[in-house]
Amino acid sequence: MRDRKMDGVRGILVGGFCAFAAGCGEGVTPPEPPPEPLNTPLAAHEAVAMFDGLAAVLRDSTAPVMRIVGDTVVSGCPLAGRVTRWTRATAEQVGDTIRFAIDQTAVPDGCRLSHAGLQFTVDGPPSGIRDQTTANLVTVANGLDFLITGEIVGTLRGRLDWRLDHRFGSCDIDLTLSGGEDLSSETQLFLVGTLCGHEVRLEVESELLLTEPPEAMRAPHFHGFMNGDRRQG
């Protein structure tokens, strides 16, 4: 006759082992990993995705314009919210040099956007993100063609408040345009500096500098430059 007491002990031991060992029996689901802390900073790829997504919003000339007051334009964001942009663009010619300058501040307000598979909600303080860029261009005759030489210098600075899933935080931006000192060569332009605490080097196509403004903001004297190839040389 089997010892029922021993069978009971074996059952307790097996049951206890199953409580700690994964896969003992069917239908056992391993626990989900704990969520990231709410204040986890953006990883480098997340910071670049947010930056590129906002750049795309500012470049979108088809974005619905909600209000125009002087040099200030308020336009809608793709999913929700808005972005207010103040722009001052000037152009002057001294001798054979044409100097273009743009001073632009963008302030997102509950701006929801999606980029690289991530969905962000972006806000900004009143100071927003400020883009100050100057181009000194010289047109030189080159046979039957004209060669544009010169330089582009600029900075992009400010701060954004962001939300990604359950996480939220702030992102300081301090970028300088690099590679624009000599437009007579095929030098690639980059934005170099810090983005959300990460050292970055971004190709100029991913930046907010010299972006095409909404139709209502275009000045006739600035139209050609804003829509031109920034890597002419």
Per-residue pLDDT tens over the stretch 50-67: 999 999 998 888 999 999
As a whole number of angstroms, the distance between CA 65 and CA 73 comes to: 7
Is the distance from CB of 201 to CB of 177 less than 8 angstroms? no
Q: Which pLDDT score is estimated for 32?
A: 67
**Section 17-31 average pLDDT:** 49
Q: Which pLDDT score is estimated for 35?
A: 67
As a whole number of angstroms, the distance between CA 185 and CA 187 comes to: 5
**Among the ranges given (15-19, 75-79, 132-136, 141-145), the one the predictor scored with the smallest mean pLDDT:** 15-19
As a whole number of angstroms, the distance between CA 194 and CA 156 comes to: 10
pLDDT over 70 (residue 211): no
As a whole number of angstroms, the distance between CA 41 and CA 164 comes to: 10
Can you list the positions of beta strands (E) in the chain?
65-69, 72-76, 80-94, 97-115, 118-123, 129-142, 145-164, 167-178, 190-195, 198-203
**pLDDT tens for residues 128-185?**
999 999 888 887 777 667 667 788 889 999 999 999 999 999 999 999 988 776 666 6
Q: Which pLDDT score is estimated for 139?
A: 76
Q: Which pLDDT score is estimated for 226?
A: 29
Which pair of structure tokens corresponds to residue 116? 């690289």
Contacts of 159 (CB under 8 A, 6+ apart): 124, 125, 127, 129, 170, 171, 172, 173
Q: Which pLDDT score is estimated for 229?
A: 33
Which pair of structure tokens corresponds to residue 91? 């152009």
Which has more pLDDT, 35 or 174?
174
Q: Which pLDDT score is estimated for 13?
A: 36
pLDDT over 70 (residue 82): yes
As a whole number of angstroms, the distance between CA 218 and CA 226 comes to: 9
> In the predicted model, what is the mean pLDDT of the chain?
77
Q: Is 216 exposed, middle or buried (0-12, 13-18, 19+ CB in 10 A)?
A: exposed
Residue 21 pLDDT grade (very low, low, confident, very high; cuts 50, 70, 90): very low
As a whole number of angstroms, the distance between CA 106 and CA 163 comes to: 18
Q: Which pLDDT score is estimated for 24?
A: 47
Q: Which pLDDT score is estimated for 233?
A: 31
Q: Torsions phi, psi of 115, nearest 5?
A: -155, 135
pLDDT over 50 (residue 95): yes
